[in-house]
Structure 1
Amino acid sequence: MQHLTSESIRDRVNVIQGTNFVTADPKIVLTTVLGSCVACCLFDPHAKVGGMNHFLLAQPREGMRSDNTEAERYGLFAMELLVNEMLKAGATRSTLRAHLYGGANMHAGMQAIGTSNARFAEDFLARDRIPLAHRDLGGTQARRVEFRAAMGQARCRLVEAEVPVEVRRPAVVHDQGEVELF
Structure 2
Amino acid sequence: MFETRILADGALTPDRITVMQGQAVVSAEARAELSTVLGSCVALCLFDPEARLGGMNHFLLAEPPVNASGDTVDEFYGTYLMELLVNQMLGKGARKSRLKAHLYGGANVNRNMMRIGSANADFARSFVQREGIELVRSDLGGNNARRIDFRPASGQVRCRTVEDRFAPPVQPTTRPEKATGDVELF
Q: Which TM-score band (shorter chain)?
A: 0.7 to 0.9
Counterpart in the other structure of 1:23? 27
Q: Deviation of residue 61 (structure 1)?
A: 1.9
Structure 1 residues 55 and 168: CA distance shift in structure 2, 3 A: closer
Structure number with higher relative contact order (C-alpha < 8 Å, ≥ 6 residues apart): 1
Q: Is the Cα–Cα contact under 8 Å of residues 97 and 132 in structure 1 kept in the other structure?
A: yes
Counterpart in the other structure of 1:52? 56
Matches within 5 A, 1:36-115: 36-65=40-69, 67-68=71-72, 71-115=74-118
Counterpart in the other structure of 2:152? 149
Structure 1 residues 57 and 66: CA distance shift in structure 2, 3 A: farther
Counterpart in the other structure of 1:162? 168
Amino acid at match of 2:156: Q
Structure 1 residues 65 and 75: CA distance shift in structure 2, 3 A: same
Question: Unaligned 5+ residue runs, structure 1?
Answer: 1-5, 170-178
Distance 1:168 1:19 in 2: 33
Structure 1 residues 110 and 90: CA distance shift in structure 2, 3 A: same
Q: Is the Cα–Cα contact under 8 Å of residues 9 and 29 in structure 1 kept in the other structure?
A: no
Distance 2:93 2:35 in 1: 22
Amino acid at match of 1:28: A
Q: Where has structure 1 moved over 6 Å in runs of 4 or more?
A: 165-169
Amino acid at match of 2:45: C
Which string of whole-angstrom CA distances, capped at 9 and with x for unpartnered residues, describes residues 50-78 of structure 1?
00000000011221225535x21111110
Distance 2:128 2:173 in 1: 42
Q: Deviation of residue 12 (structure 1)?
A: 0.6
Structure 1 residues 166 and 101: CA distance shift in structure 2, 3 A: closer
Question: Unaligned 5+ residue runs, structure 2?
Answer: 1-6, 176-180, 182-186
Structure 1 residues 166 and 112: CA distance shift in structure 2, 3 A: closer
Counterpart in the other structure of 2:15? 11
Partner-residue secondary structure (3-state), 1:77: helix
**Alignment RMSD, CA only?**
2.3
Distance 1:167 1:111 in 2: 16
Q: Is the Cα–Cα contact under 8 Å of residues 60 and 66 in structure 1 kept in the other structure?
A: no
Output the TM-score relative to the length of structure 2: 0.82
Aligned length in residues: 166
